Amino acid sequence: MLYGLRANFAGEIETNNKGMKIENLDFQQLNWELRLNLDLILEENLQLVKKIDTETLVPLVNSIQQSQRIFLIATGRSGFALRGAAMRLMHLGLTVYFAGDTTTPAIKKGDLLIVASGSGT
């Protein structure tokens, strides 16, 4: 089976990045700035979660559950994200490979290939 899933998070995420220089902060200032940045990270992630149409994820979850093995491929930041996803899927007990690694076997019928691209190319 071939499923196409396309995620498009339209719209801007509000950010308040001031570009702080941590070498100029004392302990209390650094502690305060770290707390503010952690709160900002949480808020930005909550904004992203609210934009996800979970109905578009159902076919992907079904495909993952029905697949014998899962292969993932991407480069750059998308590759880093998919490598993290591969690790989490392995922690769930699934057989997962990152395509392009030297130990990756050939993809066969019944396997799932997940491809990600931040740029769309």
Q: What is the mean pLDDT of the chain?
A: 86
CA-based nearest residue to 98, from 40, 109, 107, 2: 107
The sign of the dihedral angle between the CA atoms of 97, 100, 101, 106 is positive
> Cα separation of 39 and 75, whole Å?
29
Q: What is the pLDDT of residues 96-116, one digit of tens each?
A: 999 988 999 999 999 999 999
Higher pLDDT: 74 or 29? It is: 74
Higher pLDDT: 22 or 73? It is: 73
The predicted structure's pLDDT at residue 14? 55
What is the pLDDT confidence band of residue 27, given thresholds at 50, 70 and 90? confident
The predicted structure's pLDDT at residue 121? 72
Provide the whole-model pTM: 0.68
> Cα separation of 87 and 97, whole Å?
9
The predicted structure's pLDDT at residue 10? 54
> Cα separation of 19 and 86, whole Å?
32
Ranges of each domain in the chain: 22-51, 54-115
Q: What is the pLDDT of residues 34-89, one digit of tens each?
A: 999 999 999 999 999 999 999 999 999 999 999 999 999 999 999 999 999 999 99
Q: How many CB atoms lie within 10 A of CB 20?
A: 14
CA-based nearest residue to 71, from 83, 56, 58: 83
